[in-house]
């Protein structure tokens, strides 16, 4: 009988990321500990921040938009939770490779690990804000709509993937063009007013061009995926999920292309 030799199989890209899960998990823990070191409230600030911001905006904009605080508070808090997560993912992702330059220089690692580190940290705070919003809905509106809470699983996964892909693209761009972070900050400030974070889209139905811009904004659909089940007790229509999944798919193709093109040479730009 002939002897058979078995060659070691090279792990795939995502399999390699999973094999290194304890590495990037420890990086996230280090980031969170450094962020709240010597802080009186510690992680409690992740709870105070969304509540304080929501309270201030509710006082100002609930009357401006003619919305009762009982309805406007949960609407606003859900929008802020998703928006803040995406902002932290994209802006924080700009420096994810620069901060990890020492690791990248030492050994070849899947570069997607370092944006993942940023997004997991942002996701930790995003989940706290989302939990606060769910609790607020329970207190102000009762448990009726919370039966739709399990439907958020798909929405949370799509939002997380969007944040991860945005962090990858922002990190690669920033490594080659350091002004990326400043441009993104300005861009998100403009985009904030074109995204229904603070205002219900129904208020702008009579303004044709503005409504068209909001409908073309993909973040609108990610917000809708979260708000519809919890606020209105209904499953989002299929087109909402299709637009969200399509956005993630397009960004995924772009991120994969850029990683393959730039992964081997990125170390020379750090």
Summarised one tens digit per residue, pLDDT across range 175-193 is: 999 999 999 999 999 999 8
Residue 232 domain-assigned?
Answer: yes
* 265 pLDDT more than 90: no
Residue 49 domain-assigned?
Answer: no
Task: Check residues 145 and 74 and name the one with the higher pLDDT.
Answer: 74
Domain that holds residue 168: 61-269
Q: Are 98 and 174 in contact (CB under 8 A)?
A: yes
User: Once rounded to an integer, what is the mean pLDDT over residues 34-57?
Assistant: 69
Residue 12 makes CB contacts below 8 A (sequence gap 6+) with: none
The DSSP string of 110-149 is -TTHHHHHHHHHHHHHHHHHHHHHHHHHHHHH-SGGGGGG
Residue 29 domain-assigned?
Answer: no
Residue 184 domain-assigned?
Answer: yes
Residue 234 is encoded by which pair of tokens? 């209904």
Summarised one tens digit per residue, pLDDT across range 229-245 is: 988 888 899 999 999 99
The model carries a pTM of 0.88
pLDDT at position 56, please?
A: 76
pLDDT at position 7, please?
A: 43
Residue 27 domain-assigned?
Answer: no
Looking at the 3D structure of the chain, how many domains does it have?
Answer: 1
Give Cα separations from 152 to 21, 35, 112, 254 (angstroms).
Answer: 25, 29, 25, 26
Q: How many CA atoms lie within 13 A of 134 on its CB side?
A: 14
Task: Check residues 185 and 136 and name the one with the higher pLDDT.
Answer: 185
pLDDT at position 167, please?
A: 96
Residue 204 domain-assigned?
Answer: yes
94 confidence band (pLDDT: 50, 70, 90): very high
Residue 9 domain-assigned?
Answer: no
In b/e form, how buried is each residue of 27-48, taking b as 16+ CB within 10 angstroms? bbeebbeeeeeeeeeeeeebee
């Amino acid at each position: 009988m002939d002897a058979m030799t078995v060659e070691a199989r090279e792990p795939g890209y995502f399999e390699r990321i999973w094999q290194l899960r304890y590495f990037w998990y420890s990086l996230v823990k280090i980031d969170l500990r450094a962020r709240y070191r010597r802080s009186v409230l510690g992680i409690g600030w992740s709870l105070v921040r969304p509540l304080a911001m929501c309270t201030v905006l509710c006082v100002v904009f609930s009357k401006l938009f003619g919305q009762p605080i009982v309805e406007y508070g949960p609407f606003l808090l859900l929008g802020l939770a998703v928006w803040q997560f995406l902002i932290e993912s994209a802006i924080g992702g700009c420096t994810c490779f620069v901060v990890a330059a020492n690791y990248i220089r030492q050994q070849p690692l899947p570069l997607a690990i370092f944006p993942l580190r940023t997004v997991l940290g942002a996701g930790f705070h995003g989940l706290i804000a989302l939990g606060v919003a769910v609790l607020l809905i329970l207190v102000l509106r009762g448990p009726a709509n919370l039966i739709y809470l399990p439907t958020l699983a798909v929405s949370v996964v799509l939002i997380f993937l969007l944040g991860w892909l945005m962090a990858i693209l922002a990190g690669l761009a920033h490594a080659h063009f350091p002004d990326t972070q400043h441009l993104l900050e300005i861009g998100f400030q403009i985009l904030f007013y074109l995204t229904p974070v603070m205002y219900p889209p129904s208020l702008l139905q009579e303004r044709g061009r503005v409504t068209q811009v909001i409908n073309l904004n993909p973040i609108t659909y990610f917000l809708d995926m979260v708000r519809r089940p919890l606020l209105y007790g209904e499953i989002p229509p299929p087109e909402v999920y299709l637009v969200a999944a399509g956005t993630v798919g397009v960004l995924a193709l772009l991120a994969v292309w850029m990683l393959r093109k730039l992964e081997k040479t990125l170390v020379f730009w750090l």
